[in-house]
C-alpha cells in the first residue's frame, strides 16, 4: 500500500529529517512519517545504499525524499548536514534524531570501554545536541506562520534506573544525557517548537536478531507484554508525537517498552 494511501495525512506539507534512516528504527520512522504525508530527508552514514533504497521506495509511492550522508561524530559533517537539510526545501518542520553509534556489533565491539563510550558521546549526544539546537533555532525564526513544529530525540527506557554491566553503564550515561537535554531544550524552544524524547526498551534490531538465548529470554521477561518490541512499535509512537495530534505534549520522555517488568533478572539463567 502506498504510504500516501494511509489514513491520516496529518503531516501533509511538512518536511521531516530522520537521522539514522538506514537502520531498522530509523527506516520504520521514515515510513510512518511518509505515510502521514511528510516529505523526507533521509540521513545515513555507513550504509547510504540502504537509505537510497528507502528513498526510491518512498519516491515510487508519491513521497518526495532525498538522502544526505554524514558522520555525526565529526562536528564539520554535522554542520554540513544541517545546511543541506535546511536548503533542501528551505525549512525543516520535523527533526527526528534517531542516529546512534553501533558499539555492540562489528569490529568496534572489541574496542575499549573508553573508546566505545567516546564514540557514543560524539554521535548520540553531541549529534543530537547540535542538530536540535541549530535546527530548533531556525524553526523558531519561522514561527510566525503558526505551523506546528517538533523535535524528537531517542533515549533508553532503562537509563533512569540503570542496568548492570558495561553496556548498561555506557547507554545509561549516553541516553540519560539525551533525555535530560531534551527536557531542557523543550523549555528553551517553547512555545514555538515541541521537543520530546522516546525511550525504547528491548527492540529487535540487528543486535537482537543475533544475540544469545539469555538476552532473548531477558527481553521478553522484562516486558509486561512478554515480547520484544519492533521498530514499527517505536515508529508509530514517533509519528504521533511529531504530529499536531500531540500539540499539547512537550518536554516528555515516553517509554516504548511494553511496560517494564521489574525484578525479572534474578529469575533468569546466568548470562553466557
- The CATH number linked to 45 is 3.40.50.720
Which DSSP helix (H) or strand (E) runs through 210?
helix 206-210
Residue 272 confidence class, pLDDT cut points 50, 70, 90: very low
Query: Over the stretch 16-37, which tens digit does the pLDDT of each residue have?
Result: 999 999 999 999 999 999 999 9
Asked, as a colleague might, if the bond just before 194 is cis with ω within 30 of 0, I would say: no
Question: Can you give the pTM of this predicted structure?
Answer: 0.91
* All residues at 6 or more sequence positions from 34 whose CB lies less than 8 Å from its CB, including other chains: 3, 4, 40, 58, 61, 63, 65
* End-to-end C-alpha distance for the chain, whole angstroms: 43
Q: Is 117 domain-assigned?
A: yes
Q: Chain-centre distance of CA 144, in angstroms? A: 28
Q: Is 272 domain-assigned?
A: no
251 sits in the region (left: phi over 0; alpha: psi -120 to 50; else beta) called: left
Q: Is 9 domain-assigned?
A: yes
Q: Tell me how many domains the chain contains.
A: 1
pLDDT value, residue 205: 79
Q: Is 93 domain-assigned?
A: yes
Query: Over the stretch 153-205, which tens digit does the pLDDT of each residue have?
Result: 999 999 988 988 999 999 999 999 999 999 999 999 999 999 999 999 989 87
Per-residue pLDDT at 270 exceeds 60: no
* β-pair partners for 229: 203
Q: All 3 cell numbers of residue 96?
A: 527526528
Amino acid at each position: 500500500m502506498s504510504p500516501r494511501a494511509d489514513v491520516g495525512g496529518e503531516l501533509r506539507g511538512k518536511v521531516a529529517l530522520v537521522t539514522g534512516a538506514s537502520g531498522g528504527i530509523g527506516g520504520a520512522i521514515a515510513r510512518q512519517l511518509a505515510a502521514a504525508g511528510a516529505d523526507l530527508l533521509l540521513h545515513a552514514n555507513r550504509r547510504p545504499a540502504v537509505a537510497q533504497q528507502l528513498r526510491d521506495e518512498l519516491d515510487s509511492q508519491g513521497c518526495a525524499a532525498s538522502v544526505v550522508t554524514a558522520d555525526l561524530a565529526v562536528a564539520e559533517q554535522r554542520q554540513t548536514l544541517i545546511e543541506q537539510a535546511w536548503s533542501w526545501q528551505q525549512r525543516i518542520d520535523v527533526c527526528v534524531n534517531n542516529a546512534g553509534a553501533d558499539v555492540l556489533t562489528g569490529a568496534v565491539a572489541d574496542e575499549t570501554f573508553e573508546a566505545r563510550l567516546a564514540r557514543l558521546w560524539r554521535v548520540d549526544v553531541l549529534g543530537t545536541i547540535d542538530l536540535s539546537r541549530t535546527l530548533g533555532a531556525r524553526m523558531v525564526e519561522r514561527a510566525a506562520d503558526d505551523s506546528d513544529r517538533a523535535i524528537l530525540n531517542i533515549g533508553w527506557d532503562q537509563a533512569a534506573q540503570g542496568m548492570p554491566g558495561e553496556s548498561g553503564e555506557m547507554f545509561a550515561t549516553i541516553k540519560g544525557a539525551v533525555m535530560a537535554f531534551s527536557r531542557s531544550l523543550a523549555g528553551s524552544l517553547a512555545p514555538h517548537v515541541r521537543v520530546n524524547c522516546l525511550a525504547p526498551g528491548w527492540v529487535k534490531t540487528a543486535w537482537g536478531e543475533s544475540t544469545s538465548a539469555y538476552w532473548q529470554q531477558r527481553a521478553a521477561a522484562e516486558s509486561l507484554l512478554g515480547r520484544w518490541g519492533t521498530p514499527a512499535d517505536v515508529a508509530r509512537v514517533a509519528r504521533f508525537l511529531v504530529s499536531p495530534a500531540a500539540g499539547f505534549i512537550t518536554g516528555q520522555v515516553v517509554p516504548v517498552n511494553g511496560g517494564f517488568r521489574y525484578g525479572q533478572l534474578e529469575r533468569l539463567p546466568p548470562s553466557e
